[in-house]
Amino acid sequence: MLENDRYTYRVTWSEEDEEYVGLCVEYPSLSWLAPTPQEALEGIRQVVADVVADMEANEERVPEPIALRHYSGKFTVRIPPDLHRRLTLEAAESGISLNRLASAKLSQ
């Protein structure tokens, strides 16, 4: 296993496989099937550790864990002009900025 493993894992049920599947967000092509959630998590963590070791041995760039990335709090979203107009009107009618309205809608 990785010593300071800070990757993002998820375990979910796979109806198709009739087992739990362990996934890692930073490595979307990897998965591990197991009969219990704990085994699925342990399995995917070991697969990731093996892949990271192989990448390091081959001097490849290892993905940074999402949890360690820094975020500015800003991102650009393109929307149709009519939606932009409707949201601007809604914000004005509510007495708030468009940014505040968008933030509130995204957090729902």
In the chain, what are the domain boundaries?
A: 9-67, 71-106
Closest listed residue to residue 77, CA positions, set 92, 99, 93: 99
- pLDDT for position 1: 83
CB count in 10 Å sphere of residue 44: 24
pLDDT, tens digit (0-9, with 9 covering 90-100), for 24-79: 999 999 999 999 999 999 999 999 999 999 999 999 999 999 999 999 999 999 99
Is the overall model pTM greater than 0.75, yes or no? Answer: no
Residue 3: pLDDT band (50, 70, 90) is confident
Rounded alpha-carbon distances, angstroms, from residue 36 to 28, 30, 46, 66: 21, 18, 15, 26
What is the sign, positive or negative, of the torsion defined by CA atoms of 94, 96, 98, 100? negative
Residue 93: pLDDT band (50, 70, 90) is very high
- pLDDT for position 26: 98
